[in-house]
Structure 1
Amino acid sequence: MLELKVDSEIVLKEIELFDAEDIFRLIDSDRENLRIWLSFVDSTKELFDTEDFIKSILFLPEEIRDFVTVIIYKGQKIGLIGFKLTDFVNKKTEIGYWISKEFENKGIVTKSIIKMIDYALDTLELNRIQIKCAIGNEKSSKIPKKLNFKFEGIERSAELLNGKFIDAEVYSILKDEWNSKN
C-alpha cells in the first residue's frame, strides 16, 4: 500500500479493507456534521456499508482504480481524501475529501490536497485537477480559492443531498498553472 508523507504530522495512506472499522466509526461519530454536505453519510448505516465502499475501490483493476487515502494526523485516522472520476486518457481527475469536525481549521486538508495534486501531476502525469464544493460549503470552497484554482462556474443539480438536488461550485487547476505558482 502506497503512503504519501505530507509533513511530520500528516500521512496519506492508501485505503485498505482493514481501515473499514475506523472509517465507519469516524462517520458514525460525526454523522450530523458530515451529512450536511456529504450524500454518502445517510446510506452508510453499518460497518458493511463502509466495507462495500472500500471493496468497490480495491476490486477494480489497478489501471482504472481511483487513488483513495486515509488521512492520518499524529497517528490517528481522521478522514479520507482521494481522486474520483479519474480519466487517464484525458489526463484529469477530481479530488474529494472529508475530515472529522474536530480536526477542521488546522490546515490538514489544504496540505493533503497539495500533496495529492503533486502526486497527480508528477507521478500520474495528469494535466487537470478539479474540486467541486456544494454551494454554501464555505470551509470546503476556501481551499481551492486559497490554492489559486480557477472558478469555472456552477454545476446545477450536481448532487442529490438529503432528498434534494444541490448546486456545486466547480474549480480547476492545470499542470502549467500549478507549476508556475509552486
Structure 2
Amino acid sequence: MFTFEIDDEITLRLLNETDADELFQLIDHSREHLREWLAWIDGTKTIHDSKQFIHACVDIHEKRQGLTLGIYFHDKLAGVIGFNTIDWTNQIGVIGYWLGSTFQGEGIMTRAVTGLIDYGFHQLGLNRIEIRAAFENIKSRAIPERLGFLQEGQIRQGEWLYDHYVDLVLYGMLASEWDLERSLL
C-alpha cells in the first residue's frame, strides 16, 4: 500500500475500505464547512457512499489516472489530497484537496500539498502541476499562492455548486520553477 511520510506529524496514504467509517465521520462532522466549496457533500449520506468513493479511488490509482490519498495527522484521518487527474502524455497532474474542520489552522494542508508536489515532480516525473480553486475560496487559494504557484487565469463559471456556478482560479507550477522555488527557501 502506498504511504508517503511528510514529517513526524503528517502521513499520506492510499485509502482502503477499512477507512470508510472514519472518512464518513470526518465528512459528516465537517459537512457544513465542506459544503460551501465541494459539490459532492450532499451525495455522501452513508458509510456505503464513502466505500464507493474509496473503491473509485483505488480503481483510478490502478489505472494510473490519478492518486487519491488520506491525510493522516497524528494517525487520525484529517482530510483528502491527491492528483484528481494525471495526464501522462503531457506530464500534468491536477491537485485537489480538502481538510476536516477540526484540523484547520495547523499548517497541515500546506505541508501535505508541498509533499505531494515533491512526489509528483521527483517520483512521478511530472512537468506541470495545476491547482484550481473557486475565486472566493480564499483559504484554498492561499495554498498555491503561499507555495509560489503562478496564477495563470480564471475559468469563468468553471464549477457548479448546488444552485450556482463559481469561477475558478487556475494556478500552475512547472518542475523547473518548483526546484528553483524550493532552493530559495
Normalising by the smaller structure, the TM-score range is: over 0.9
The 5 Å alignment of 1:10-89 reads 10-60=10-60, 62-89=62-89
- Asked if the contact 1:57/1:65 (under 8 Å) is kept, the reply is no
Give the residue type in structure 2 aligned to 1:76.
K
| Residue deviations 1:90-109 (CA, integer Å, cap 9, x gap) | 10011111111111121100
Identity of paired residues, percent?
36
Matches of 2:14 and 2:120 in 1, distance apart?
14
Residue 127 (1) aligns with residue 127 (2): yes
Q: Structure 2: how far apart are the matches of 1:61 and 1:178? A: 24
Cα pair distance change 1:60/1:83, threshold 3 Å? closer
Question: 1:73 Cα shift?
Answer: 0.4
The one-character-per-residue Cα deviations of 1:25-63 (angstroms, maximum 9, x if unpaired) are 110111011000111101111111111111112134624
Q: Which runs of 5+ in 1 are unaligned?
A: none
Q: Report how far residue 64 of structure 1 moved.
A: 2.2
Q: Which letter maps to 1:32?
A: E
Letter paired with 2:109: V
Question: Quick one: which amino acid aligns to residue 110 of structure 2?
Answer: T
Aligned residues: 182
Partner in structure 1 of residue 143 of structure 2: 143
Deviation at 1:158, TM superposition (A): 1.2
Quickly say closer, same or farther: Cα 1:137–1:54, change in 2 above 3 A: same
Q: TM-score, normalised by structure 1?
A: 0.96
Whichever residue aligns with residue 97 of structure 2, its letter is: Y
CA distance in 2, matches of 1:171, 1:108: 20
Counterpart Cα distance in 2 of 1:55 and 1:74: 25
Change (3 A) 1:129 1:154: same
Alpha-carbon separation, structure 2, partners of 1:16 and 1:158: 31
The 10-residue stretch of structure 1 (46-55 or 2-11) with the greater mean CA deviation from structure 2: 46-55
In structure 2, what is the equivalent of residue 160 of structure 1?
A: 160
Summarize the alignment of residues 81-120 of structure 1 with structure 2, pairs less than 5 Å apart.
Answer: 81-120=81-120
